[in-house]
Chain A
Amino acid sequence: MVERSQEEVWKLTPWLVIVLCLGSFVLMAFDAREINSGQRIIRVWTQTAADFVQSPVTTLSSSFAGYFGSIANLRSAQDENQQLKQRVQELEVELKSGQELTSENERLRGLLGLREESKYKVLPARIIGRDPSVWFESSIINRGSMDGVKLNMPIVNDGGLVGRVTAVGPLTAQIDLITHDKSGVGGIVGEIGGTNALGVVGGTGKRTEVEMRYVPGSVEVQIGQVVHTSGQDGIYPAGLKIGEIVEVRSGSATTPQLIFLRPAARIDSMKEVAVLLYEPPPKGEFDQKIPNALKDVKAK
């Protein structure tokens, strides 16, 4: 152990700060460049290293929180039990009518010669970490490239669209939520083919609200209508539920409307999600001739 005099320490400290700050600055510059080019190599490997600590700690803290939560929930359990019994009876009636509809559907499909198949493979995942910085909203899931997760794959839960994968490590992946300010999802009001109310859904920074921009003012939009992905952004497949319209600030023939949605997925309280193992179809020849597309291809 080298013993330094106080004077030596005072002389050394500013230089040490300059070197470390410069190193951090270079890292930031490198990371900012990687955001634009796609894969963030340094982050992926630091994340993988952190996973060995974070995963068990999160499991422990979640089980503790769950234990105390379950004690707190006991109070309301009796009322809830009564309500659930009533709901079970209602659902039994619904189930019977549902079974009839399913069998009818199967018969009709058989007539049309269609084959029942799932469009995309779904990989269940658990959220093991939230962004430790208050300034960002990303989350970390316990699935990585070893499970087949790739960059930009959509993330969903039972409610609807949650976000997309922004960095993939061998064991974990980082996801950006649709509520993030910089996110953008191609959306359509209502069913595809039913309307031409196309726009871009982006975050507002709030976890309970997203906004849809660029919907022409001449198109009629109503509160309560559902917004789905249009599939035109080249990332998300068409038909995923994004949210429900809660407010419309109508535009005119020349100005677009501003539509506010409540996300279909309960983003603020989710613990489990699913990765859609979906890869967008390759760009057509025309797309690849566009200068920006060429830049993307070179970067990859």
Chain B
Amino acid sequence: MNNLKITIALIIAVMLQWTLRNVAEPFAYVDFPLIVVVYAALQRDAIKAIFFGTFAGLAIDALSGGLLGANAFTKTLLAFFVSELARRVYMDNLLLRIPVIAGACLLDDLIYYGLHRLFGQAPSGDVFVTVAYSLIGTTISGTVVYIILDYFLSDQTRSRKSDVFPKRRNSRRRNPIRLGK
């Protein structure tokens, strides 16, 4: 059920990415598919996250003026990195996820730009300005989206937490005063 919910979230994210720039220019600085891909990677299901990265990337590339496959490449790689990180470090805390989405966004932009330079394509605009705005936009939106996704997938979060931190057995303490008796 939760797999279905994250898949629906990814489809919505791709659709928002396709259309929101038409409504207002600043939305271009928010990478919605990346937010969902990183979220999926943080769920410790590496294979699903990697496939999400590839398909979301291809869907964005299909309507972009950039190279077809560039977003797919960066998002696949990032899904792998984040899932490996989530495997080693416990990151179910929202505060810990904020630097992860910020780092993922920074890496995504730099790899994407590097790939285009490698193939002799020059993306428009100032690199530092674009990366900075993208970092701010994606990190803020990512935090909000993670709160929303956690709300909808709360059952999963709760059960996972109970797996990692099983409840302590509530054994009755014996009264130390009466120990001697």
Chain B residues with CB under 8 A of A137 = 65, 124
* A-B pairs with lowest CB-CB distance, top 7: A27-B69, A138-B65, A136-B65, A135-B123, A46-B62, A24-B73, A24-B69
Contact among B25, B70, B124 with A181 in the assembled complex (CB-CB below 8 Å): B124
Name B's interface SS: helix
Closest to A22 in B: B73
CB pair B63–A140 under 8 Å, yes or no, is: yes
A51 to chain B, nearest CB (A): 9
In the complex, A112 has a CB within 8 A of chain B? no
Which of A9-17, A73-81, A191-199, A290-298 is the contact stretch?
Answer: A9-17
Tell me the A1-39 residues at the B interface (CB within 8 Å).
9-10, 12-14, 16-17, 20-21, 23-32, 35
Q: What's the interface size class on A, roughly? A: 35 or more
A positions within 8 Å CB-CB of B:
9-10, 12-14, 16-17, 20-21, 23-32, 35, 40, 42-43, 46-47, 49-50, 53-54, 57-58, 61-62, 65, 127-138, 140, 166, 174, 176, 179-182, 203, 205, 268
Chain A residues with CB under 8 A of B130 = 134-135
Closest to A49 in B: B62
Interface size on B, residues (CB 8 A): 55
Closest to A64 in B: B23
- Distance in angstroms between the alpha carbons of A46 and B20 in the assembled complex: 20
Contact among B23, B29, B50 with A20 in the assembled complex (CB-CB below 8 Å): B50
Chain B residues with CB under 8 A of A268 = 25
In the complex, B149 has a CB within 8 A of chain A? no
